[in-house]
Copies of this chain bind each other. A is one copy, B any other.
Amino acid sequence: MAERFISKKNLSFLLYDVFDVESLTRYPYYADHGRETFEMVIETSFKIASGMMFPVLSEMDRQEPEYQDGTVRVHPAVREFLRAAGEGGWINATKPYDVGGQQLPNMINFAASFAFMAANYSLGVYTYLTAGAANLIWSFGSQELKDEYLPRMYSGEWQGTMALTEPNAGSSLSDVATQAEPTERGYYNISGQKIFISAGMHDAVENVVHLMLARIKGAPAGVKGISLFVVPALRGEGGALVSNDVKCIGIDHKMGYKGAPIAQLAMGENGDCRGYLVGEPHKGLAYMFHMMNEERIGVGIGAVGIASAAYYASLEYARLRTQGRRQGEKNPATPQIAIIEHADVKRMLLFQRAVVEGSLALLLQVSRYLDLEQVSDGEEKEKYHLLVELLTPVVKTYPSEAGITSVSQGIQILGGYGYCRDFPLEQHFRDMRIHPIHEGTTGIQGQDILGRKVRMNDGRAFALFLGEVAADIAAARKHSRLSRQAGDLETAAASLKEITSYMVGAAASIGAEVFLADATLYLELFCLVCAAWQWLKMAAVSSGALDAGASGDDANFHAGKIVACEFFFAYELPKSLGLLKRLGDADGLTVKVNPEMFED
């Protein structure tokens, strides 16, 4: 069914009206661009998304990758998409002209990625992975590595991966055990195993380039002994590509997100796997984390993409399906009404919309900070850097966690059909569930924001964030129709500040374990405040548009924004009350639980 998976109108609203992406063109890096080029880029992304990606969404789910004798056969659309993305310059779109890039703002690039991910997450992820891996080489690799790998990664001929996870090193990267033995010829001999490597091997490309964490022989234990290597599946030798002794020993079969294989790799089984050091020894984790923000933001985009596709599918169903009558209508001879007329269905649709549009706004907010970091200097640059650092766990987590609930409500709107494979919702539900897991679980994100981010630089990032929120509250206060929501956000932000002080203040006396025991709940609270912030911000812009005389479809759109904002403040933000209650009791309940109490 649903041909529609995103709202172009909402995307334009966010890019131009809320976040004023055009204002970036006054900086030299973006000076060649203007609204026309931005619109052209976005329009092209829609075309690829609708024409090439969305049509194979269900097929890629049903014909999942097949492993045989070291190779992995993927859907033919993967090759087609990778080449198209390479030719269109999507993989290095934000990079400088001198490496073939287009110097596009992250906001525009993320907006295009959102269209891709909404159309077909499993397909969109291939180029996203390549872009992330290429970024590492571009940022930290030698000129030789750049020359050898970047052109064919950017062209979509070669796949890039992030090869971190091992059987004993998942969330605990300090336990990476893959070995790198130095040789006199500059390269390192790599041996070990990696698991869960997305797109780690497949037949839609000539070569796969792994950006791999490994430990140089004799390196210190823990995170300080981890280095980053380029480990290609095939290496260049005498002008030809020869095997680099990276063997794909299997793939895992997943619940969803089936179009992209996750591979198990064995390196150096024949003693001939060469790795090429990126940057300096023992700095691998720092390099990886430098890129991790963008990877995590990418997860958020993938999640909101799926949630968006699910929202429009259930919205279309709710408009067309008739069932039941208005409450209080006793005459069974009257025709049934479209289910979108039922308050409970509207509530579920508003929830889906609140999650989708709130998440997307938050992601664009953070990508705007990324863009401003790129073009500014000194304290200004530091400010945007800190905001991106602080908000990365939020933009990774909120779309992922609320996204699951949101797609689940989408299923509920379809009733029995939502559970059936002839309708798209069930696939979205399965695809979505990966997001709270990969690129750092929700638990890890919680530890990150509470254990590190809100406290870093003496709380400066957190203070900057509160300043941003306060500025948007002040702007919203000019709209009397939003005064209640502005007040509610002010209260919520103050509560967040207060509970943060309380928790951080108690950290030393209660110890790290108790302090961080409810970090996941703290992050959930943070997410609610951030989503409320974005909704108030959007509603203020829409309120301005209505006051300026928006009419027809525009008036509907802006009225809808304001209602969705009211919905968020009425139904979602109050969830902060329960979280605040819990977080105010740093009693270490879970820390004290003896695992034996789970025994029978």
Asked whether any CB of chain B lies closer than 8 Å to the CB of A422, the reply is: yes
Asked if A239 is at the interface of the complex by the 8 Å CB criterion, the answer is: no
Residues of chain B contacted by A516 (CB below 8 angstroms):
327, 343-344
The interface on chain A, measured as residues whose beta carbon lies within 8 A of the other chain's beta carbons, has a size of 115
A333 B170 Cβ-Cβ under 8 A: no
Q: Is A139 an interface residue (CB 8 A)?
A: no
User: Which of A89-97, A435-443, A475-483 contacts the other chain?
Assistant: A435-443
> A185 within 8 Å of B by Cβ?
no
Closest chain B CB from A523 CB (angstroms): 11
Do A333 and B221 touch across chains, with their CB atoms under 8 A apart?
yes
Task: Report the minimum CB–CB distance from A514 to chain B (whole Å).
Answer: 8
Q: Does A199 contact B (CB under 8 A)?
A: no
Across the interface, A421 reaches (CB within 8 A) one of B254, B328, B415, namely B254
Query: Which of A541-567 touch B at CB < 8 Å?
Result: 553, 556-557, 559-560, 563, 566-567
| Residue from B10, B223, B429 in contact with A433 in the complex, judged by beta carbons closer than 8 Å | B429
| Distance in Å: Cβ of A564 to nearest Cβ of chain B | 8
Within 8 A of B (CB), among A147-173: 165, 168, 170-172
Chain B residues contacting A412 (CB-CB under 8 Å) are 436-437, 441-443
Q: Which residues from chain B contact A566 at a C-beta distance below 8 Å? A: 589
Q: Are A328 and B577 in contact (CB under 8 A)?
A: no
A415-B441, A519-B344 known; A597 and B332 CB under 8 Å? Answer: no
Q: Take A333-B221, A343-B591, A437-B418 as given contacts and tell me if A560 and B324 are in contact as well, using a CB distance cutoff of 8 Å.
A: no
Bound CA span A563–B461, Å: 37
A74 to B350, CA, bound (A): 40
Docked pose: A578 CA to B580 CA in angstroms: 11
Q: Residues of B contacting A33 with CB < 8 Å?
A: none
| A364-372, A529-537, A568-576 - the one binding chain B | A568-576
Shortest distance between the CB of A585 and any CB in chain B (Å): 7
A419 contacts B by Cβ under 8 Å: yes
Contact B253 A421 (CB under 8 A): yes
- State whether the Cβ of A47 lies closer than 8 Å to any Cβ in chain B: no
User: What number of copies of this chain does the assembly contain?
Assistant: 2
Give A415 Cβ to nearest chain B Cβ, in Å.
6
Instruction: Choose among B172, B328, B344, B513 the residue that contacts A323 (Cβ–Cβ < 8 A).
Output: B172
Nearest B-chain residue to A8, judged by Cβ: B600
Whether B420 and A253, one on each chain, are in contact in the complex, defined by CB atoms closer than 8 angstroms, is yes
The CA of A437 and the CA of B331, in the complex, are separated in Å by 26
CB contacts under 8 Å to B, within A214-254, are: 221-223, 252-254
Within 8 A of B (CB), among A313-342: 315, 319, 322-328, 331-333, 336, 338, 340-342
Contacts of A578 in B (CB 8 A): 574-578
A325: which B residues are within 8 A, CB to CB?
A: 172
A520 interface residue per 8 A CB criterion: yes
**A252 adjacent to B415 (CB under 8 Å):** no
| A582 is an interface residue with CB less than 8 A from chain B | yes
Residues A419 and B433 in contact, CB atoms below 8 Å apart: yes
A347, A349, A411: most-surrounded residue (chain B CB, <10 A): A347
Does A416 belong to the interface (CB within 8 Å)?
A: yes
In whole angstroms, what is the CA distance A563 to B592 when docked? 9
Contact B599 A557 (CB under 8 A): yes
Q: Which residue of B lies closest to A427 (CB)?
A: B255
Q: Is A71 an interface residue (CB 8 A)?
A: no
Contact across chains for A332 and B446 when beta carbons are under 8 A apart:
no
A419/B441 in contact, CB under 8 A:
no
Most buried by B among A254, A343, A411: A343
Which of chain B's residues has its CB closest to A223's CB? B332
Within 8 A of B (CB), among A402-425: 404, 408, 411-412, 415-416, 418-422
Is the CB of A7 closer than 8 A to any CB of chain B?
yes
| Residues of chain B with a CB closer than 8 A to A280's CB | none
A587 lies within 8 A of chain B by Cβ: yes
Task: Determine which of B446, B560, B593 lies in contact with A598 in the assembled complex, contact meaning CB atoms within 8 Å.
Answer: B560
Chain B residues near A256 (CB, 8 Å)?
419
Contact A437/B408 with A578-B577, A600-B9 known, Cβ cut-off 8 Å = no
Q: Is the CB of A346 closer than 8 A to any CB of chain B?
A: yes
What's the nearest-Cβ distance from chain B to residue A340, in Å? 5
Is A597 a contact partner of B422 (Cβ separation < 8 A)? no
Contact A570 B589, CB 8 Å, known A323-B172, A344-B520, A429-B255: yes
Instruction: Write out the residue numbers on chain B whose beta carbons fall within 8 Å of the beta carbon of A404.
Output: 408
* A590 adjacent to chain B (CB < 8 Å): yes
Most chain B CB neighbours (cut-off 10 Å) among A7, A328, A442, A589:
A589
- List B contacts of A511 (CB < 8 A): 327-328
Contacts of A599 in B (CB 8 A): 553, 556-557, 560
- CA–CA, A588 and B223, complex, Å: 55
- Can you spell out 28 A-B residue pairs with CB atoms less than 8 angstroms apart? A10-B600, A170-B416, A172-B323, A172-B325, A172-B336, A222-B331, A252-B420, A252-B421, A254-B419, A254-B420, A319-B595, A327-B516, A328-B512, A340-B598, A343-B516, A344-B519, A347-B590, A349-B598, A408-B433, A411-B437, A419-B433, A426-B433, A553-B600, A559-B597, A563-B593, A567-B589, A571-B582, A577-B577
Q: What are the 7 tightest A-B residue pairs by CB atom distance, in nearest-first order? A: A222-B332, A560-B597, A574-B578, A255-B426, A577-B577, A343-B517, A327-B512
Chain A interface residues toward B at CB < 8 A: 7-10, 165, 168, 170-172, 174-175, 195-196, 221-223, 252-257, 262, 315, 319, 322-328, 331-333, 336, 338, 340-347, 349-350, 353, 404, 408, 411-412, 415-416, 418-422, 426, 429-430, 433-434, 436-438, 441-443, 446-447, 511-521, 553, 556-557, 559-560, 563, 566-567, 570-571, 574-579, 581-582, 585, 587-591, 593-600
